[in-house]
Amino acid sequence: MSQFRLTQTPPSLNPPSDRMVRVKINGIEVEVPNGENIIESAKRVGVDIPYFCYHPRLSRGEAANCRMCLVDVYMPRKNPDGTETLAKMPKPQTACTLPAAQGMVIETESEQVVRDRKGILEFLLINHPLDCPICDRGGECPLQNNTIFYGPPTSRYIEEKRHFPKAYPLSEYVVFDRERCIHCARCTRFADDISGDAQLAFLKRGADMEVGTFAQTAYRSKFSGNVIELCPVGALLSRTYRFKARPWDLHTQKSICSRCSNGCNVKFDYRLEQLLRVNARVNEEVNEEWTCDRGKFGHDYVSAPDRLKTPLLKRDGEFVPISWTEALDRIVEQLRQAGSNVGGIGGQRCTNEDNFVFQKLFREVLGSNHIDSRLGRYQGPVNRPLFERFGYHGMGNRIADLENMKTLFVFGSELVDEQPIIFLRVRKAWRFKGASVVNAVTRVEEETTKVADFAEVNLIYRPGTEMALLLALAHVILHEKLLPKNASTSALAQRVGDWTPARAAAETGVAAEDIVRAAHLLVNGPMAILVGRAITEHPEFEALVEVLGDLVVATGNQGNLNIPGTECNTQGAMDMGVLPDVGPGYRPIDPPGMNTHRMLEAAASGQLPVLWIVGAKLVENYHDADLARRALENCPFVIVNELRLTETARMADLVLPAASVAEKDGTYTSCERRVQRIHKAFDISPDIKPDWLIFTEVAAMLGGTPYFSPRDILRDIAATVPMYAGISFRSLGDAGIRWEYPAGDA
């Protein structure tokens, strides 16, 4: 269990209200919400107030410890004769803590303010080493920028500065240079407010003060990379990017993180075909401005030295490089021989365009419905558990909606690992909006942040007893009559039987009173359920989803059952119809083809002459690894599209070098059905092809119509898939579009 429990933050004492007030900033009159920070009001009229410590997303955003945002303030005062005059506050005020009020007049460029800022900067620079030439932050550093525009030209400080070791390895990914720190407290507040690790704090005081961890232990966080971007100086730096480039030498391309299904908006910074760092892009609907460490540091595969750069053909058990012409000839020859008896697996990590052409090649050119993107244990009809009942696949809620829930039920998910950005939303709902969280997991890890740290009730059950736990929760809800009379509880009532908390306690190992407490929270709506891998990989997946469905119906939370996918385009691959039983847009296919498992079984028994695997690590990750291995051994011709020579690729007969997320255009669809654009940044090698191009070339050689670009494919998708109607590269913009099911479809 967690050793500490951060408290919820009460709403700010002076929240901006709906009432508007008029303030005057540098002579410009503007109407702003009553109580808004003047620093934000100034942004509205384009007046620049410099700051370091203020950050709108951190509570105590009003830290006011850098003192950089000083402004002169005048307030109207009534005279005895009824007239009004402006009275100046005797000292300059920090704009980041100054709530806007009616008639307030702000001066940001008065003689006193200009002089004070110079003084503040001179103080901040006293202990700053000014080693900008070797600082990664040089060129994009708020301290540099503010010094240029507001600072004194020289320093009067001639004494010895503070000295610390230069690159203290704070965490796996972050190095810390204490000499450069200006004590703004952004990183410590991030650790408290956002990620919840609370491992960073100010130690000592006065001139000795420094940021540190407890007893010099490592800073362990799944979100540690964010402090690098938050740091307004070069004190917190990336270990992977350190000394790799100067910021002005980098090219930047907008993209989407490829490491999980949440669809974080990121920027790829690259130079000379090397992806050097990944920074967050603001998208209020998805990641706000955060990234997880997996996304921020987990894209090293893009520029890895062992990337495949040419097609490889296996001859006598050894891979030999061959030309694309030869590779395509081989594929076409094998496909011609096999006819429609070919199988395709994968696509969860490819773009929508790749997937659309993938299934089109199989269905329309080869005439095979044996195509499946799913690698999980549940491979039944895709519409069965959720769509037939509630009319959606995957997530019913938008990620941003989760923060408005009163209760969040995280069931069978190690959320911080499986869905890091959803985890941050859940935590935000708890910390800033007062939601309560019920957490049901099989085990709780020590050390880093997790839902268990802030959950109101933790139900730690024995693996395999999910159903008993769920039914006991329902039992309490029904038998204690926690729901209003008109709630539709009949479906649930049929199921619960005699699963009393006491009986479930014996079965699951959860204390009966915890089950009762959890049940009392679940009826406190709006409530949303987040389901994780323990459920999606459960042998009784469908039955569990049925009960969860009954639960959301009974508690009046239809549409709040969420089963987010796992990979960056799990959702898109399904939308594009890379499924045996439905085509693009979930149109039923008759007869359905074989699913992944049956394809592997057929291949293992030598009945599938050609198997095409697209970016799927079957041998590594498939739940029946032995079957996957036998399938690859016994299938006469296995084609694998991969970035690197994975274990699965090693067992193939032909390996095709595929383009990574940074090397192609296209769209991903995140777990909340948000279609977002990825942009091509660079080419690593001319012989690496995006998957769609491989498929379209094969299709053309077999007599199909070729596509010319991802834009071309997306145009076809928009015309074919009803949910994607109207979507184009242009209409997606930077924030993407979350598609809705056409009305009446459910």
Partner 1 sequence: MATTENGPGALEPRPAPPKEQRFSLNAIQELEEIASHYPERKAACLPALWIAQREYGGYLTPAAIQEVADRLGMSYAEVEGVATFYTMYNLRPRGRHHLEVCTCLTCAVMGAYDVVHELERALGIEVGGTTRDGEFTLSEVECLDYCGAATVVQVGDRYFTHVTADNVLNLIEELRQSEEYTPVKLADAIVKLHLPGSSQTGGGSRTGEQIRNNELY
> Is 200 an interacting residue with respect to partner 1 (CB under 8 A)?
yes
Of 3-11, 70-78, 511-519, 540-548, the window that binds partner 1 (rule: CB under 8 A) is: 3-11
Contact 639, 612 (CB under 8 A): yes
CB of 236 to partner 1, least distance (A): 15
| Distances, alpha carbon 17 to alpha carbons 32, 43, 99, in Å | 10, 18, 11
Edge-to-edge strands, sheet with 666-669: 666-669, 674-678, 737-738
- 7 or 486: CB nearest partner 1: 7
Q: Which of 74, 93, 103, 210 binds partner 1 (CB under 8 A)?
A: 210
> Is 6 an interacting residue with respect to partner 1 (CB under 8 A)?
yes
Q: Which residues pair with 105 in a beta bridge?
A: 24, 74
Of 193-201, 594-602, 627-635, 654-662, the window that binds partner 1 (rule: CB under 8 A) is: 193-201
> Is 205 an interacting residue with respect to partner 1 (CB under 8 A)?
yes
- 170 or 496: CB nearest partner 1: 170
Q: Which residues pair with 212 in a beta bridge?
A: 201
Of 79-87, 161-169, 377-385, 401-409, the window that binds partner 1 (rule: CB under 8 A) is: 161-169
DSSP 619-655: HHH-SSHHHHHHHHHH-SEEEEEESB--HHHHT-SEE
- 129 or 556: CB nearest partner 1: 129
> Is 3 an interacting residue with respect to partner 1 (CB under 8 A)?
yes
Q: What is the dihedral of CA 29, 31, 37, 38, to 10 degrees?
A: 0
- 268 or 454: CB nearest partner 1: 454
Q: What angle do CA 597, 601, 604 make, to 5 degrees?
A: 135
CB of 378 to partner 1, least distance (A): 39
Report the alpha-carbon distance of residue 648 to residue 640 in Å, rounded: 8
> Is 169 an interacting residue with respect to partner 1 (CB under 8 A)?
yes
Q: Which of 75, 87, 134, 203 binds partner 1 (CB under 8 A)?
A: 203
DSSP 136-172: TTTTS-HHHHHHHHHS-SS----SPPP---S-EE-SS
> Is 343 an interacting residue with respect to partner 1 (CB under 8 A)?
no
**Burial label, 9 (beta-carbon count in 10 A; 0-12, 13-18, 19+):** middle
CB of 292 to partner 1, least distance (A): 20
Q: Which of 45, 218, 460, 645 binds partner 1 (CB under 8 A)?
A: 218
- 3 or 154: CB nearest partner 1: 3
Residue 66 CB neighbour total at 10 angstroms: 25
- 200 or 519: CB nearest partner 1: 200
CB of 188 to partner 1, least distance (A): 8
> Is 122 an interacting residue with respect to partner 1 (CB under 8 A)?
no
> Is 160 an interacting residue with respect to partner 1 (CB under 8 A)?
no
Q: Which of 43, 75, 131, 214 binds partner 1 (CB under 8 A)?
A: 214
CB of 392 to partner 1, least distance (A): 39
Q: Is 57 helix (H, G, I), strand (E, B) or coil?
A: coil
- 1 or 148: CB nearest partner 1: 1
> Is 170 an interacting residue with respect to partner 1 (CB under 8 A)?
yes
> Is 5 an interacting residue with respect to partner 1 (CB under 8 A)?
yes
Report the alpha-carbon distance of residue 715 to residue 727 in Å, rounded: 8
Report the alpha-carbon distance of residue 24 to residue 16 in Å, rounded: 17
**Where do we find the tokens 């519409």?**
383
CB of 165 to partner 1, least distance (A): 6
Contact 449, 221 (CB under 8 A): yes
Q: Which of 20, 126, 130, 201 binds partner 1 (CB under 8 A)?
A: 201
Report the alpha-carbon distance of residue 97 to residue 101 in Å, rounded: 12
- 211 or 264: CB nearest partner 1: 211
Q: Is 656 helix (H, G, I), strand (E, B) or coil?
A: strand
The count of residues interacting with partner 1 (CB under 8 A) is 29
Edge-to-edge strands, sheet with 236-238: 168-169, 174-176, 236-238
C-alpha 504: how far from its chain's center? 35
Q: Which of 164, 301, 324, 729 binds partner 1 (CB under 8 A)?
A: 164
Residue 698 CB neighbour total at 10 angstroms: 21
CB of 419 to partner 1, least distance (A): 24
CB of 224 to partner 1, least distance (A): 12
CB of 230 to partner 1, least distance (A): 17
- 174 or 671: CB nearest partner 1: 174
- 168 or 243: CB nearest partner 1: 168
Report the alpha-carbon distance of residue 211 to residue 198 in Å, rounded: 12
Q: Which residues bind partner 1 (CB under 8 A)?
A: 3-7, 163-165, 168-170, 198-205, 208, 210, 212-219
